[in-house]
Amino acid sequence: MNVKTRLTFNSLYVCIITKQRYFGLLVIIYIKEGRLREILPTTPWLSPEDQLEVVEVLYRFGIIKVSNNRDLPLKSGGTTDIYISLRDARNNPGAIEYISNLFAETLLRTVIDRFVEIPDSVSCFAGPISLFAGLPYLTIREQAKEGRVSDAKIIGNANPCDRIAIIDDVITDGASKIAPYMECKKRKLNIIGLIVLVDRQQGWQKVFKENGINMKVWPGMTLHDVRRCLIELDLLQRCEENVEQINPIIVALDGKNWNELLPILDQLRTTGCIFKVNDLVFAEGFDHLLPELATYGRVMVDLKNHDIPNTLVNTCARLRKHNPWAVTIHASGGPEMIAAAVKTFEGTATKVLAVTVLTSINQADCEEIYNRPPTEEVLKLAEIAAKAGAQGLVCSPQEVAMLHENYPGLLLVVPGIRSPEKSVSGDDQKRTGTPQQVMSDGADHIVMGRQILQAANPVAEVNRILNEDLQFF
């Protein structure tokens, strides 16, 4: 691919790029028109479709390496399931050309006078990028070169107030970007931002803030995007199927935002847990959150819907296209509402779970609301749900044995679960039980949130529950 020209008029740009074949894959970056950017956007510079293509090409070049065993070593210590090394492009001229054009096309969407490369991950691309984009560049050395008469830390020339973009392969915690930023600021260069291929989402925002770094980061994709693409391309396994089938734990992802959850989800992915979402769905939206979350495991959409049948059908129809593992509705909505939800999901694997009496309701509250004690009300609601066709029930630990005996064909999902002698902050559950107790009584799945999310090591805590509390392995 070759960028043929860059035209500017009234702050517009046109990029013309030719077709090339890499490993038999036809790669096309077609003509794009739009306003040149002086302020970098918040969305990645690769579209989801482009991300899928780029990940596949980089995997074929050997630049992206994967391991379902999460045993790829990291420079900082530890291991990972995905390792990205643009340095390895040096082994393949085709990879250098491909990646250089990705950066060149992106730089042409900005208003800059030159770009700055950080050795040595992107050093092999700097020359081709300069050629393709028609932009001069600077190289910032990590260490000043001894005995040099001119500027010992920078190769190349720039004028004060020149608009520049810094480029690098990835950003992790951001520490390695501080020195180049400071060197550019010392020379009074106008930094519009840092452009990277991948944001590994490892806390660079905090590091930048602590060090007074005011610099936008514009990634082509996040590590989450890379993982999603690899799984979609069947190059990485979400989790072993038998592990997903045997694990009864549903992790409640309540009270955290998406970026907070990503590192936890990344770790929990191979444990086979189901992920339950409620407030996060409202924050992120069905169409964004559910496909993204499915990268890490099966999804239970715990909206506890309770509305007129027509409104409930509209909600279920929106959920249906994302094929969640299960959705929850209130059994007290009545048989017509439950049946409408079940009918909407016909032909899919999605289960409709009817919520009986919330675990936060004690006996006094239940008698005030329903004029019955919890046991009687749960039995009545279970009868309504079963007759309406619900595939499962959500109940407290106290009703599991009773419901298992009366409705052996229904799936029983049980929240309010705590390991013995385990306490969590902010606990508002009133009818609770232990993992071993409810599974022995006949539960199919147990819902545990804070005990896992607040653990120092969530994966270790899941494995401890499976091995010690449930003695599964």
For the segment 391-407, what is each residue's pLDDT rounded down to a tens digit? Answer: 999 999 999 999 999 99
Domains 34-228 and 240-469 share a fold: no
Predicted confidence band of residue 272 (pLDDT cuts 50, 70, 90): very high
Give pLDDT, residue 202.
83
Q: What residues does each domain of the chain span?
A: 34-228, 240-469
For the segment 147-163, what is each residue's pLDDT rounded down to a tens digit? Answer: 554 556 889 999 999 99
* CATH of the domain spanning 240-469: 3.20.20.70
Give pLDDT, residue 70.
84
Average pLDDT over the chain reads 87
**Whole-number percent of the chain with pLDDT over 90:** 71
Range with lowest mean pLDDT among 223-237, 358-372, 433-447: 358-372
Give pLDDT, residue 425.
55
Residue 379 predicted with pLDDT over 60: yes
Range with lowest mean pLDDT among 145-154, 325-334, 416-425: 145-154
pLDDT (mean) for 198-205: 89
CATH class for the domain made up of 34-228: alpha beta
Give pLDDT, residue 263.
86
For the segment 11-41, what is each residue's pLDDT rounded down to a tens digit? Answer: 344 444 444 444 444 343 333 444 445 578 8
Give pLDDT, residue 415.
94
For 22, residues 6+ apart whose C-beta sits below 8 A from its C-beta are 57, 60, 61, 94, 98
Give pLDDT, residue 69.
83
Query: Would you name the residues annotated as active-site residues?
Result: 304
pLDDT (mean) for 282-302: 94
- pTM, two decimals, is 0.80
pLDDT (mean) for 241-267: 91
pLDDT (mean) for 85-105: 95
